[in-house]
């Protein structure tokens, strides 16, 4: 129930010990109450509101009937107590009441802000809401189970944007572009082929990676009938799901309920959920919620006081400062606990510091031991933070539970993402073999890899193979199909298809953690666009006609995934196992082969021979002994009915897998 007007004029203090505002000459002097609980504390009897702002002169709490308009129904002054923390307690059951803070600093009032710890917001994220979070749990939430994962390379990650998966007119979804549309069962596309979650089940992936799905600035949630699209890398409210994917963005509880139902439905099908997070920068700077509360503190600056911008988005956050570190750690723990998430992908992870990322992994695993953390081990621009302390790819060895993207393998396979004409191993590029071998072993130290010939790394950068994300394409830059088309304009369609299949054959038989861009299994195209972050649905949508058009490519990927799942030798858990079991046999121009013993892997096959032929002609490959053929060209036969002895012809632009029991 709502409190009475008379009562709403009374603000109760949590602590009676007021403190005075202090002056500071640097951010290092700011108090750091890292143990203080700054999240809203809701009960049916009262709600506690807190905010950290050591430079504030006053802090106000405004209560509203709704999340969009109208004057406050009540206003409270918060009281400063220790270490720059302000608080007030409001009696009564405030469930469903919206609120904002305003902060007075040096004679100027901030814009109204929902606060950086907001857990529920109204339309466009401008006002927070007091909410009993238990009321948003779907049926069976308490018994919800995450997929069991001993090592990250047991996962097969599928990176998707929620809107892209179901917005096409032939997706068969009754809720296109929505959380619940993604998990709607029984949807059919052209000629009755599965779409949505049934497509994911049929393909066999183990985890979905959701492009940023926290509340972001770009989409105007009051105008969802108009054409709008954005990937979401412009954070507004970090601890709240994005409203444009909900059936009703005006009611703060709806997006939370539907996000949880999406997670539960994916878990029910054995699919984990990974959230792409963007703690490295905020979508705005001066107007951001962080800056409204403590101007400048949460961002890095150069020595001259100007904003650092390693994200190339206007700012970069200062993860090394105690209260920023506290926020990130508590935020990932909150998402893991409240939304049952199974992992996080850190955008531009190289902006953050090594210690933070180690703490993130520890914090996440304390809540969900099956969860894992990975990220981009680079920055977009330079940073004032020392490179030897950053969570860069080359420093992954100092982050034993963190996985990083391997651009070495990505560009080794298809050519540089920044040069349209650049080609890679599968598309006729020269001198890419060592980069591919480096990717095959998961960037570990291996005696047969010539590191001086690897495209971007001159030394191993992982301890164990699962610390690399093995991939050839993602949301950034061209799709795989578009990249192959633009870099090999002389190649025919059949040759392009063969290149695409071989690229992900290498990804899915490498020792790292495999990662697929949504739609790659049906040769997704964005009509040649490089950067589609704000382009229309016509560019970004999954075109379900292509599933039928390129059914052989879909079947090939489905079989690759089945192969990897059935044979743990393709996902060894330690660097020592890889070094002991994997031996390269032949490395020549556009051809690589290796032999795997399967000791210590519990693989049903005793020995596995793998060959990648990127040549445009078959290769007659000499064999020692008698082998059963599991994969040759487009043929998959896990029983190995065909026997090869002496030699075998490896078809042009294809993979061969043979085994001995």
Rounded to 10 degrees, the C-alpha dihedral 539/542/544/549 comes to 70
Whole-number Å distance between alpha carbons of 654 and 661: 23
Q: Sign of dihedral through CA atoms 602, 608, 614, 616? A: negative
Helix residue spans in 59-148 (DSSP H): none
Give the whole-angstrom CA distance, residue 508 versus residue 14: 56
How do strand 343-346 and strand 642-650 relate by DSSP bridges? unpaired
The CA distances from residue 187 to 286, 479, 543, in Å, are: 45, 25, 14
Alpha-carbon distance of 565 to 204, in angstroms, equals 9
Catalytic residue among 342, 376, 543, 603: 376
CA distances from 114 to 117, 237, 598 (A): 8, 8, 55
376 catalytic residue (yes or no): yes
Question: How many Cα neighbours within 13 Å face the side chain of 392?
Answer: 16
Shortest CA distance to 433 belongs to which of 612, 572, 622, 577?
Answer: 612
CA distance 384 to 378: 14
Alpha-carbon gap, residue 659 to 639, rounded angstroms: 10
Q: Please name the residues in contact with 584: beta carbons below 8 A apart, sequence gap of 6 or more.
A: 437, 448, 592, 593, 594
How many Å apart are CA 331 and CA 323, to the nearest integer?
12
CB 379 within 8 A of CB 387: no
CA–CA gap between residue 182 and residue 162 (Å, rounded): 7
Report how far residue 587's alpha carbon sits from residue 437's, in angstroms, rounded to the nearest whole number: 9
CB 311 within 8 A of CB 379: yes
Out of 276, 347, 407, 408, which one is annotated catalytic? 347
Residues, the chain, total? 661
Contacting residues for 6 by C-beta, under 8 A, at least 6 apart: none
> CA 377 to CA 349: how far, in whole Å?
5
Any idea what the Cα angle at residue 132 is, between residues 337 and 222, rounded to 5°?
A: 95
**What is the widest separation between alpha-carbon atoms in the chain?**
93
Strand 619-632 with 635-636, pairing:
antiparallel
Helix (H) or strand (E) holding 258: helix 252-268
Residue 548, H or E segment: helix 545-549
- Cβ-contact 211, 475 below 8 angstroms: yes
DSSP 421-466: T---GGGT-SS-HHHHHHHHTTS---TT--GGGSSS-SS---SSGG
Q: Is 347 a catalytic residue?
A: yes
- Catalytic (active-site) positions: 347, 376
């Amino acid at each position: 129930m709502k409190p009475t007007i008379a009562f709403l004029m009374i603000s109760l203090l949590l602590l009676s010990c007021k403190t005075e505002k202090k002056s500071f000459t640097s951010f290092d002097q700011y108090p750091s109450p890292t143990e203080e609980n700054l999240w809203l504390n809701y009960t049916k009897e009262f709600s506690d509101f807190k905010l950290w702002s050591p430079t504030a002169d006053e802090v106000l709490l405004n209560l509203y009937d709704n999340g969009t308009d109208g004057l406050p129904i009540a206003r409270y002054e918060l009281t400063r107590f220790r270490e720059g923390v302000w608080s007030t307690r409001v009696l009564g059951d405030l469930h469903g009441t919206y609120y904002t803070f305003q902060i007075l600093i040096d004679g100027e009032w901030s814009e109204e802000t929902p606060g950086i710890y907001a857990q529920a917001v109204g339309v466009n994220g401008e006002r927070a809401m007091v909410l009993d979070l238990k009321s948003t749990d779907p049926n069976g939430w308490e018994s919800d189970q995450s997929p069991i994962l001993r090592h990250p390379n047991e996962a097969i990650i599928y990176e998707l944007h929620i809107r892209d998966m179901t917005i096409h007119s032939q997706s068969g979804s009754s809720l296109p572009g929505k959380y619940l549309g993604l998990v709607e069962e029984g949807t059919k596309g052209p000629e009755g082929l599965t779409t949505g979650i049934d497509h994911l089940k049929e393909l066999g992936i183990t985890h979905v990676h959701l492009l940023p799905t926290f509340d972001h600035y770009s989409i105007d949630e009051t105008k969802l009938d108009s054409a709008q699209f954005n990937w979401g890398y412009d954070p507004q409210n970090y601890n709240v799901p994005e409203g444009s994917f909900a059936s009703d963005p005006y009611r703060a509880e709806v997006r939370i309920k539907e996000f949880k139902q999406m997670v539960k439905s994916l878990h029910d099908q054995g699919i984990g959920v990974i959230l792409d997070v963007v703690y490295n920068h905020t979508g705005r700077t001066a107007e951001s919620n962080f800056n409204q509360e403590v101007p400048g503190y949460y961002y890095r600056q150069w020595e001259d006081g100007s904003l650092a911008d390693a994200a190339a988005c206007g700012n970069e956050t200062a993860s090394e400062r105690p209260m920023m570190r506290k926020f990130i750690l508590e935020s990932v723990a909150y998402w893991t606990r409240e939304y049952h998430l199974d992992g996080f992908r850190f955008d531009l992870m190289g902006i953050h510091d090594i210690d933070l990322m180690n703490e993130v992994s520890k914090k996440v695993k304390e809540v969900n031991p099956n969860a894992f953390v990975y990220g981009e081990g680079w920055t977009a621009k330079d940073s004032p933070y020392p490179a030897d302390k950053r969570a860069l790819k080359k420093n992954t060895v100092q982050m034993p539970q963190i996985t990083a993207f391997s651009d070495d393998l990505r560009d080794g396979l298809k050519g540089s993402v920044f040069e349209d004409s650049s080609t890679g191993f599968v598309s006729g590029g020269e001198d890419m073999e060592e980069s591919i071998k480096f990717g095959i072993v998961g960037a570990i130290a291996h005696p047969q890899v010539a590191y001086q010939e690897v495209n971007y790394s001159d030394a191993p950068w992982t301890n164990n193979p699962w610390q690399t994300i093995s991939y050839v394409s993602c949301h950034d830059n061209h799709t795989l199909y578009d990249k192959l088309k633009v870099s090999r304009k002389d190649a025919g369609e059949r040759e392009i298809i063969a290149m695409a299949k071989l690229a992900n054959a290498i990804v899915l038989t490498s020792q790292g953690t495999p990662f697929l861009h949504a739609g790659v299994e049906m040769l997704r195209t964005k009509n040649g666009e490089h950067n589609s972050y704000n382009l229309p649905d016509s560019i970004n949508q999954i075109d379900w006609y292509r599933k039928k058009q390129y059914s052989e490519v879909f079947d090939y990927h489905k079989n690759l995934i089945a192969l990897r799942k059935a044979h743990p030798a393709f996902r060894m858990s330690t660097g020592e196992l890889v070094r002991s079991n994997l031996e390269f046999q032949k490395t020549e121009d556009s051809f690589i082969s290796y032999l795997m013993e399967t000791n210590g892997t519990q693989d049903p096959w005793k020995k596995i021979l793998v060959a990648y032929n990127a040549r445009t002609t078959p290769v007659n490959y000499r064999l020692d002994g008698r082998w059963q053929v599991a994969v040759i060209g487009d043929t998959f036969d896990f029983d190995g009915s065909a026997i090869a002895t002496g030699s075998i012809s490896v078809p042009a632009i294809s993979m061969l897998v043979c085994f001995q029991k």
